[in-house]
A and B are shown apart, each in its own frame.
Chain A
């Protein structure tokens, strides 16, 4: 299992934003945009992350590539599996030793903490010394959500795509850099001569290609793709999905692919995490997640997605209301105000993300291991897996 190893190992990532108001300005509230998120991404694979607007996807993406400093957590990038294990073990022992008293225990604790610190400064992106971080940063790049807003309109495409090369001192001479940019543009399906043109001369799909080329120019190991196709038309969406597949193979990339469309994630991801209000509520291999769809929120997302088949009767909206504010998340399970299965316990006690089946993690009191798994719904046409409550109209008429 560890043969190919993890390229990314995120542990307890947390990012809070302070909301300031008044005079003198002081913090009046806190947005818990990302609230304790852990996941791993295997080398060469794609981790898909889905969730509704405002659940913290972009914040997580920006935190992952170091654009935000996390409030807590660590990110092990390209770290040997045994070292990650060691870190986890040290953490567990520190937690244990922390409750013990006496000078011997204190000495042991200090020793453990020192060992952990050494490992973190070696491998945890957030603890790396500045110079090491700068070098490492080149290896993970972000493709931004908005193909319109993320490109500086006053810069030429060559400038935009080549900027990172300059920053990281890659490519030697100007001419060599220009060649590298041209080559990257071509890999992204753009005319290499686009180098002298400006972003406004391009369509949305082409701008998305420019954004991808900018990230790819540095020849990173990981691309964090923040909704790379959400803003595009269906036809252009397929073109960009094709491109992402091609460059992944060509450059041996690993992806974190963020989307709000489950159907897209099902196509691209090997492993999927479903996010709600700053937390991952379900995480599993793609096939398991889509066939079991344990969490009621995952079910709601799948059931709410309209199907392009008039013979499938649209279900009434599976959940009510909208996601609550992450400034004051509801007590207990964060999904309980909208959950069709909410019970008394859900309102007071927050369900932890625990293993419900091998490799399948769920945070819900009504699911394994707390309860038995729910039964499947009726079968749907067109190879759709069963989904709770969907009805089928007789074809024809």
Chain B
């Protein structure tokens, strides 16, 4: 079965059910069609052989704007195991950044977390006094931002900024902090780190700035890092270096990583699990290998089919018409229906449930999960 797979195959235009392969794992058939029962908080973690380092459940974070309520995150859940990477993918504007910001309590107004939990260790980050959360940020969980310049203070040298992080979270003295800052710069591949520690952010190239931001995020060996499009602004040759860097750190410290990106190729190469997000909700999750070889949701399939790959110029790219809906005025029923080649009447009646189809996979599509499930 694995022999003839083509991960980038466009979805067939023909018979709907035939075009949506069911997850093929034989063990899945037993409980595949049953809707997921609501899990009591904490139970899943307790049952898992290895507790996740970060467990986000049913997270909703909305922006209350004058034009209406933008439901940027509308019930999102995922777990990250120790040393593992979860790729959170989707088109721009589907709520990836808002998810990361919400978990860290950094959502800017008019944004607000309206429900959910984000359990790190034993504590829920979303129900923690700001003071405690501030202490955990950087030390236990940190974020690498999309645009490195926004994470850096233009009025401080890179060395001083890293030292400031260390001052907040460690009891190193001044000189030790300065030394550690140089050490960290060296560890993220900044050439001449002692010299670069004295440089201002604007004096560095994009790739170098991103390395500095990563050095800051990793300064205190956090348990989890949320990396929001860490390589999007960089050249491919530098992208590969940054992915190496994140992977090496993970191997060394066992940190869990949420790799937020719109680049499915980066997910294929760097993540263990993937969560595909569309218009504020997850539409498909599972192990990267399974999801990429047998995508179940029409959106996942279309995304995979739309990526140009070197050496496959003759393959027709999948065109996804239209764009992500306005999150303040969502259509009723399936959020993807307006762009879905397989949409039918039933799709517009109610939002499909996110159904456990076995083998660690979940799908939100009435065709992929079978109508029996509803």
Q: Interface on A for B, CB 8 Å cutoff?
A: 52-53, 203-205, 233-239, 241-242, 260-264, 266-267, 286, 290, 300-302, 304-312, 314-323, 338, 380, 382-385, 395-397
Contacts and interface: CB of A to CB of B under 8 A. Distances in A.
B191 interface: yes
Contacts, number: 158
A308 B264 contact: yes
Interface of B: 1-3, 5-8, 91-92, 191, 205-208, 235-241, 243-244, 262-270, 288-289, 292-293, 302-304, 306-313, 317-321, 323
Nearest to B267: A308
Listed residue (A235, A319, A382) with the most chain B CB atoms within 10 angstroms of its CB:
A235
Given A53-B206, A307-B309, A317-B244, A395 B269 contact: no
Given A308-B265, A311-B289, A382-B312, A322 B238 contact: yes
Contacts of A262: 310
Contacts of B265: 305-308
Nearest to B240: A317
B317 A241 contact: yes
Contacts of A322: 205, 207-208, 235, 237-238
A302 B240 CA distance: 11
A258 to B, nearest CB: 14
A239 B239 CA distance: 25
Contact of B303 (A235, A264, A309, A318): A235
Nearest to B94: A233
B310 A290 contact: yes
B262 A233 contact: yes
Contacts of B293: 310-311, 395
Nearest to A267: B313
Q: Is the interface of A mostly helix, strand, loop or mixed?
A: loop
A314 B6 CA distance: 18
B306 A238 contact: yes
B321 A234 contact: no
Contact of B304 (A233, A239, A308, A321): A308
A310 B268 contact: yes
Going nearest first, the 6 A-B pairs with the smallest beta carbon separation are A384-B311, A306-B265, A317-B240, A314-B269, A396-B2, A235-B320
A395 B241 contact: no
A234 B262 contact: yes
Contacts of A239: 319-321
Given A235-B306, A238-B319, A322-B235, A310 B289 contact: yes
B206 to A, nearest CB: 7
A233 B89 CA distance: 11
A239 B306 CA distance: 10
Nearest to B208: A322
B374 to A, nearest CB: 28
A246 to B, nearest CB: 12
B310 A314 contact: no
A218 to B, nearest CB: 28
Contacts of A241: 317
A308 B292 contact: yes
Contact of B237 (A261, A286, A304, A397): A304
Contacts of B8: 308-309, 382
A384 B309 contact: yes
Nearest to B309: A263
A392 to B, nearest CB: 13
Contacts of A263: 307-310, 312-313
